[in-house]
Structure 1
Amino acid sequence: MAAKNIDEFNEITGKVFATLYEAFPIPTLLRPSDFGIDESHEGDWGADGRFIEGPPRSHEEVLFSQTVQWLEQSGYLTVSGAPPGRLVGPDRTFFGHARLTAKGLEVMNAIPPSLTKREPIGQQLAEATKSGGKELLRSITTEALGIGVQLAVKAAGLAP
């Protein structure tokens, strides 16, 4: 299951990066259905927007939510509150006003030497998303996250 989760994480991450790169600097709503993931709306919801009970959300919907939250916590993007009437907190699946951070944009504009195309990663992700090439999307996403780690190490003064 772990390798499958990583593959799905890389696909979602690549699609999110491509969406935000193409929209930059305009904030964008991120929701599962925009990425081909069915959204569950059934169940009881508290006044604070938290899910109380009902059919469980799908694995894909949970993975989408956790991926976007990880990208935010890792400094690749910013999001603000969910749209009115939508779930907030750790179980949220809608992310309002999402936009790449300076770090995210720097990664998307990078041209890594290991890739044969001499285009920014963001442009390559956008093209891979449109063409439906999942393996290419995963590969480029892995490269992008690696560049992000290199930037963080360099910024922390840990690079030689």
Structure 2
Amino acid sequence: MSQPNIEKFNTIAGLVLANLYDAYPEPTRLDTYNYIVNLDEPDCPVTAWAKRSREKRFIAESIERLKEAGLLNASAISENYFYNAVLTVKGLECLKKVPDNLKPNVGKTFTEHLKNVGAEGSKIIFNQLITFALTFTLNS
């Protein structure tokens, strides 16, 4: 059974923001293919291609929503690639709002921490971040 869209969005948002956080302040390229998670590959190559295409389109739309919220800047060259992607000041501020008990230890990158807390912990962190970002955006 597939994830509801908001859960997929939160997972993708978490992965994208974690990658940009690790790369900060250097701009990086976002490839939508790198954010495909838990996609069951059907036996039929055409069906598999269609599923991957839908998933990449969803990922691209998720990145666009993060841009619209002001969490990152990026240039979309095609529907699968975003160039010069970098966190904005607002994105950095949101990532600093992670609860203390879920913050990474000194010397541990944000991405490593997300892998250690697992999918459920990542959902909790990014649900809180997205809520904060939207509140921050509405109050700005």
TM-score when scaled to structure 1? 0.66
Matches within 5 A, 1:78-117: 78-82=73-77, 87=78, 92-112=79-99, 116-117=101-102
Equivalent residue of 2:102, what SS? coil
- Taking structure 1 as reference, are residues 9 and 81 closer, same or farther at Cα in structure 2, changes over 3 Å only? closer
Contact in 2 for aligned 1:128/1:136 (Cα 8 Å): no
Q: Does 1:126 align with 2:121?
A: no
Q: Does 1:77 align with 2:76?
A: no
> Which residue identity is paired with 1:106?
E
Residue 137 of structure 1: which of 119, 122, 129 is its match? 122
Give 1 or 2: higher helix fraction.
2
Contact in 2 for aligned 1:15/1:125 (Cα 8 Å): no
Residue 68 of structure 1: which of 39, 63, 67 is its match? 63
Equivalent residue of 1:58, what SS? helix
- Taking structure 1 as reference, are residues 93 and 153 closer, same or farther at Cα in structure 2, changes over 3 Å only? same
Equivalent residue of 1:30, what SS? strand
Q: Tell me how far apart the structure 1 counterparts of residues 136 and 26 of structure 2 sit (CA, whole Å).
A: 24
Q: Tell me how far apart the structure 2 counterparts of residues 58 and 141 of structure 1 sit (CA, whole Å).
A: 25
Q: Tell me how far apart the structure 2 counterparts of residues 36 and 149 of structure 1 sit (CA, whole Å).
A: 24
Q: Does 1:153 align with 2:138?
A: yes
Unaligned runs of 5+ in 1: 39-54, 156-160
Deviation at 1:7, TM superposition (A): 1.1
Deviation at 1:119, TM superposition (A): 5.2
Q: Tell me how far apart the structure 2 counterparts of residues 36 and 2 of structure 1 sit (CA, whole Å).
A: 13
Structure number with bigger Rg: 1
- Taking structure 1 as reference, are residues 99 and 21 closer, same or farther at Cα in structure 2, changes over 3 Å only? same
Deviation at 1:6, TM superposition (A): 1.1
Equivalent residue of 2:101, what SS? coil
Indicate the residue corresponding to 2:43 in structure 1. none
Cα deviations across residues 117-137 of structure 1 (Å, max 9, x unaligned)? 3559xx885235433711111
- Taking structure 1 as reference, are residues 8 and 132 closer, same or farther at Cα in structure 2, changes over 3 Å only? farther
Pick which of 98-107 and 26-35 moved more.
Answer: 26-35
Pick which of 27-36 and 123-132 moved more.
Answer: 123-132
Unaligned runs of 5+ in 2: 40-48
> Which residue identity is paired with 1:66?
E
Q: Kindly indicate whether structure 1 or structure 2 has the higher relative contact order, using CA contacts under 8 Å at least 6 residues apart.
A: 2
Deviation at 1:70, TM superposition (A): 0.8
